[in-house]
Amino acid sequence: MTNPSVDIIVPVWNNPFETRACLAAILEHSPEARLIIIDNGSNRETELMLDEFSERLGDHALFMAAERHLGLVPAINRGLASSDAGSAVIVRPHVIVGNGWLEALLEAARMPGVGLVTPVFRGSGAPAVFRPGPGYTLTETFSLSFAALLINGELHRQLGGFDEGLDGGEWCLRDYVRRTETNGYHTCVTARTELSCGPETVFGSQERRQEQARLSRDRYLSRWGIARHYCLYFGPEADAAELSGTMEVIVAAARRGHRFELLLHRKQFKEFRRRGWTGLHTAVTAFKLPIFGADRSLSRRFEALQAADPDLLPLRATENVIFPGVAAPMCLNEVVPDRGNDFSLAPHWDNAMEVI
């Protein structure tokens, strides 16, 4: 395989043995990529290890050092600012890559319009990144982690770095996904590679991190608004073949962080599955109602979802649909009246959403 130009950015803070294992795995399994190593104010033991490691890499690596701990996001931004590659991949030191990992991320990044790609993870420190649905290997998502993340180089040059005023996790990444979507790029998760994660080393006290997360959440919400969680029922008479426009609306909203639970009758579910609509986005989940006792099953499903999330909002597809057991549910066009950007259920996703 001939790789496009790729930089792998590794922000390091202490943990020399873990870091060495991470760097060695990257060199073994992605030898054509350039390493950008940022020493983020590490202790002397880690400094010595990085010096020794970097000496034998030559032009294959760029080594950068900060005199004090900058924070995760500033360190990542420093690495990104030094990258002029077609793609940049962030890898944290508690992650171990394996055979074919980079090829899988680059394969996903070559899909039209893709700006961000995350793998799936396993292990004791695995972040809560949503996987593609059953039978799919590539799906759009709103769920990312700094543990490992590919960024399209052109996208980065348009957006700049991550917001350093936000936390080094959920809200900073949500903000970047929204900026990515605003610039016409998609965010995806691929199941073609699964990376191993050990426990993550965190900086600062728990109280300080919690306060930063709260402030980051407030800042994010003031910028982008609240993301809602909806349960949508189409009714037994809806023809799934005629719902392409509705699914466009739903996926466009999912790209902004909204979540949807779709309650589908058996024939509808079969048609959704055939068209690949059950794997368009990790924030859109389809539930198949049984042939007999559909209304009872629908009510129980909604009650279970609402028990797990009291803020869940019931939706009906149109005004003439009756949502069993729910009084005065809103209509879909009341909460997501337009697509917000030009989007279609693009045919270029067909090959990505293949059954495995």
Residue 322's nearest CA partner among 203, 224, 260, 236 is: 236
At 252, which amino acid appears? A
Could you tell me where the DSSP H helices lie in the chain?
Answer: 16-29, 44-55, 72-81, 101-109, 153-159, 170-182, 206-224, 244-254, 266-275, 294-308, 332-335
pLDDT in tens, 43-77: 999 999 998 888 878 778 899 998 898 999 999 99
- Residues 261-285 have pLDDT tens digits of 999 999 999 999 999 999 999 999 9
d(CA 46, CA 30): 23
Q: Last residue of some domain: 169, 197, 223?
A: 223
Of the candidates 223, 238, 263, which is a domain's last residue? 223
The tokens 């400094």 sit on which residue? Answer: 47
Q: Look at residue 97 and tell me whether its pLDDT is greater than 80.
A: yes
- Kindly state whether residues 78 and 93 are assigned to the same domain: yes
- Segment 64-91 shows an average pLDDT of 94
Structural domain includes residue 264: yes
How many structural domains are present in the chain?
Answer: 2
Give 231's DSSP letter.
Answer: E
User: Minimal CA–CA distance to 173: which of 125, 224, 126, 133?
Assistant: 224
Specify if 1 maps to a domain. Answer: no
Split at pLDDT 50, 70, 90, the class of 350 is very low
In a domain, 46, yes or no: yes
Q: Tell me: the pLDDT tens digits for 219-260?
A: 999 999 999 999 999 999 999 999 999 999 999 999 999 999
User: Tell me, what DSSP letter sits at residue 281?
Assistant: B
- 68 and 118 co-located in one domain: yes
Q: What are the C-alpha distances in Å from 85 to residues 153, 232, 314, 317? A: 6, 42, 45, 45
Distance, in Å, from the CA atom of 204 to the CA atom of 210, rounded to the nearest integer, reads 10
The tokens describing 158, both together, are 């348009």
- CA 218, 224, 228: angle at the middle one, nearest 5? 90
Residue 356 tokens read as 């495995």
Mean pLDDT of 328-348: 60
* Residue where a domain stops, chosen among 202, 223, 244: 223
Could you tell me if 59 and 130 lie in one domain? Answer: yes
By the 10 Å C-beta count (0-12 exposed, 13-18 middle, 19+ buried), 291 is classed as exposed
- CATH number, domain with residue 214: 3.90.550.10
Distance, in Å, from the CA atom of 254 to the CA atom of 142, rounded to the nearest integer, reads: 8
- Same domain as 198, residue 180: yes
| Cα 222 off chain centre by | 21
pLDDT of 308 = 96
CA quadruple 9, 15, 16, 18: dihedral sign: negative
Q: Which residue has the tokens 């799906």?
A: 139
Asked if 315 contacts 232 with a C-beta cutoff of 8 angstroms, the reply is yes
Residue carrying the six token digits 């940049």: 88
98/205 same-domain check: yes
CA separation, residue 91 to residues 9, 107, 161, 201, 322 (Å):
6, 18, 16, 14, 49
Where residue 140 falls among pLDDT bands split at 50, 70, 90? very high
The range of the structural domain enclosing residue 247 comes to 229-349
Do 150 and 262 fall into the same domain? no
Confidence band, pLDDT 50/70/90 cuts, at residue 168: confident
What pLDDT was estimated at residue 57?
A: 84
For the chain, the average pLDDT equals 90
Higher pLDDT, 27 or 334: 27
User: Domain check: are 205 and 283 in the same one?
Assistant: no
Residue 173 has what pLDDT?
97
DSSP 84: -
Band (337; pLDDT cuts 50, 70, 90)? low
- Contact at 8 Å (CB) between 173 and 144? yes
Clarify whether residues 301 and 324 are in a common domain: yes
Strands (E), 80-167: 87-91, 95-96, 114-122, 138-140, 148-152
What is the tens place of the pLDDT at every residue in 309-325? 999 999 999 999 999 98
pTM listed for this prediction? 0.91
Residues 206 and 236 in one domain: no
pLDDT tens column, 22-32: 999 999 999 99
Q: Is the pLDDT of residue 345 over 70?
A: no
